[in-house]
Structure 1
Amino acid sequence: MTRFTAAELEAARDRPVPDVVADGLRVLFCGINPGLMTAATGHHFARPGNRFWPVLHLSGFTPRQLRPAEQEELLSYGLGITNVVARPTARADELTAEEYREGGRLLAAKVDRLRPDWLAVVGVTAYRVAFDDRKAQVGPQERTFGDTRVWVLPNPSGLNAHWTAQSMAEEFARLRVRADPPS
């Protein structure tokens, strides 16, 4: 893994991170916003200690654990990645409530355009603020965007210590079972 200096990470604050998307995905995973490591590398969930990639594999969404640099491979599994807020930050608490709300509006339009089966927001607080749903909990939501159903997943950040990789994988697997077409 490439090591970045503090100055290189700070310089990444202005670097957009492209979505990994296609029309008609099974699941569009939606992070809160890109971290500086993600912005520096251009790869989603790139920070060491982020558990997204291991949990995605443990839950059965991918046959092996992908590295952030292999994110485009998700499309072959009918999966994609976007964010509620596009602006990279060192911490999610640098975002304003208005950024979350505007991000929610833009995300709804993106989902309407791409029409995934499921939108999976990784971070219940981000979902609550972006969609003004203070009572939302981890799990399936009542809200839909057209035919797209919504599931809120735990934030895979290493800072989210009350969710273990195993308990997160179990929640991701609940979504996978619902998202997988019947055989």
Structure 2
Amino acid sequence: MSEKPWKPDRKELEDSVGKTIPDIIARNLDILFCGINPGLYSAAVKHHFARPGNRFWPLLHLSGFTPQVLSPFEDDLLLSMGIGITNLVARATATAAELGREELRDGFRLLEEKVKRTTPKVVAILGVGAYRVASGNKKAAIGKQPEKIGDSVLWVLPNPSGINANYQMKELVVLFRRLYNFAKHPL
């Protein structure tokens, strides 16, 4: 059952440093989205991509993954749509820049183990820079990757955070739509 949306206060945000959010995951999903790590707002409310201005939830709808724009507080509906969410690094920080290279690399190794256990069709990492550091693939580009994790296709997309000014919403919709088309209609 979805919870009513609420906003954390300053103390709740401060208390969220280092906290984690449970993965939304099951075996054999169509797609497992993998963020970099939770922000403080998301950790405070215990829902992924929850900060106002994050474009993840509108992108899911505009690219075809969900029938309407879901609230982060409706994330319990995702599994029934074949969608899951996890993170490279579990601990919450104010910004992803607070994460070290080794922490990202360790997170990628843990992601590989998680993916091999749960076997999603596609793993979509949201953050090309973080993926390059975490995987060691310094030349990775946006889109489908030549390598896989186990039997799961690997895809890299820009971080949907509202502070990622490198990509406008229109561009992100095109990129997420490509992923949707691949995930729902693989060749």
Report the TM range for the smaller structure's normalisation: over 0.9
Query: What is aligned with 1:170?
Result: 174
Answer with 65-74 or 2-11: which moved more. 2-11
Q: Is the 8 A contact 2:18 2:93 kept in 1?
A: no
* Unaligned ranges ≥5, structure 2: none
Task: Say yes or no: does 1:100 pair with 2:104.
Answer: yes
RMSD: 1.1
Query: What is aligned with 1:62?
Result: 66
Task: Say yes or no: does 1:78 pair with 2:82.
Answer: yes
The TM-score with structure 1 as length reference comes to 0.96
CA positional deviation for 1:179? 0.6
Deviations 1:34-85 (A, max 9, x none): 0001100000000011000001100001110000001111111100000000
Query: What is aligned with 1:150?
Result: 154
CA positional deviation for 1:164? 1.3
Q: Is the 8 A contact 1:104 1:131 kept in 2?
A: yes
* Unaligned ranges ≥5, structure 1: none
Match for residue 137 of structure 1 among 122, 137, 141: 141
1:146 and 1:30 map into 2 onto residues whose CA distance is 16
Match for residue 126 of structure 2 among 113, 122, 129: 122
Deviations 1:84-114 (A, max 9, x none): 0001000000000010000000000000000
Answer with 138-147 or 104-113: which moved more. 138-147
2:98 and 2:117 map into 1 onto residues whose CA distance is 29
CA positional deviation for 1:168? 0.5
Q: How many residues align?
A: 182
Q: Is the 8 A contact 1:55 1:166 kept in 2?
A: no
